[in-house]
Structure 1
């Protein structure tokens, strides 16, 4: 039974290590640990120290190499024993968008005992299994505080009285990410709007008035001009105001008659972590997009995929392309003509929010419809 549990622990640790979407920085942790030892060991409970080195494998999983040590006295004053644990721990963290994250942990390794037991030398080691629960509080981009309760199954029968022992470890510590913290973006300056003057009294502010000397009482258009002329490119902007007189038929234009890019963000379209698989809650959003495309039969769009800056740039580029293609394929399957769409991945190159926070990274992981015509 003990070997089965240890095998399961090692399998879970190895499985967690297969994830790819992760922060590249390693984390060094130090802990103060109170060791509540099994009574059958005949050892006094005491405080010890722990040290770990690990990293987030993705937004939820961490993998840590850990060592802990405690020197405990034999009950009745018969000697003392050094207990040293060395192993791997993987932890699953909940609430990726919160700074306070509960977690559950599982790990395995070796436990070594050295010292004296009632005047008899002790030098013994064997497997151990760790199960834990705790909290991680992110204080800054580099520093987190951790508290954890760990159950340890010790299979090292150094006393010759039991096949295994049940220890409990209560720890508090700090984790520091190695490497410089990313600088927060500078706050945008606050620009006060200029006073809205209307020097010629035509009802159009001087900032927008292209004909600032219109005679009083004359009817004017939205640009402050009294002119009647044509619209040769049929974009809704008169020739006299059109700075882009050769706009494509049907193109979306601004007040100057020049083409603008119209982006529809598909809010609510989500994918499984590190996959290009649509989550069920995304279907209703995409079905609404299908309906919109059907109501506007001449609309031409580009399906654009974006990611946050987690993982490498090349990995994010490939992931954004796969996700854009999945949305494109869904729209085609639901009846939108492939001739009206293209798809493209932009990776991490077009963020709309900071990548320094979980909330910002969530906004940057998005899919958009960019209207082309």
Structure 2
């Protein structure tokens, strides 16, 4: 009885003095106390308490092997006096599960038990045990555990006419880490910053919005609305339609106008990206309303000629201006003739 009290005191003392980190090499001590539910064939009282002390080692966070010695003193039912003492030395494997503070586990092990019963031979017999338990991590150094296991004792000497006994065992204990404190694992390295977005290739950029990519643009930052050529520079396109004039009150092309329009067609073919306005004009003879319609018919005549010679209609915009934009004096015959015209305005 004094022994059991001593083991309990040791257990509580170690528990109270525990630190805060598991040993770096995995070694620990494990004092415990418990209760035997004795096999009735032992001819002892139904239950007895015991004390145990173990030393073990973790091989990883959840697997440990422990050597322990426990001792109990049973009270005999037969013979009526005397004592029956047992001391067991066992090697037990425990497998823990989970990563939280509470960890269920299973155990399996074996060893030898020394039987000392008054009036019988003193001897060692093999024991085997298996069971389960629940552990709780009070800190990184201290782990409490409660377990129940079945111990099978191959004792064939301590009770006349009876061999082999099975006892149920309940135990409460702690594991206290030994040695240096294992440093906490270093924090995970922060992920590398994402790579900067790839700079777009100059062929994908048009900084001045002139329709020519930056690779090919030899004249960057051209003003908005500037008509540019394939090199991004302002397009110097001269489309001279002088000579494309019309008879009085007519919207039909003169034969001599066709050569001028053919030259304009060739210029438009050389620069397929430019767009032009086909602008029709009249002299001042007649009403404004009539001259507006006449100028539109003249613009349409030139428009149709250019389209008929292969110029995409989407590049052309026919518009009449009536008598609003004279280039010569309408008071003279020659001035009025010059004002009856169509112009191509590059846009």
* TM-score, normalising length: structure 1: 0.42
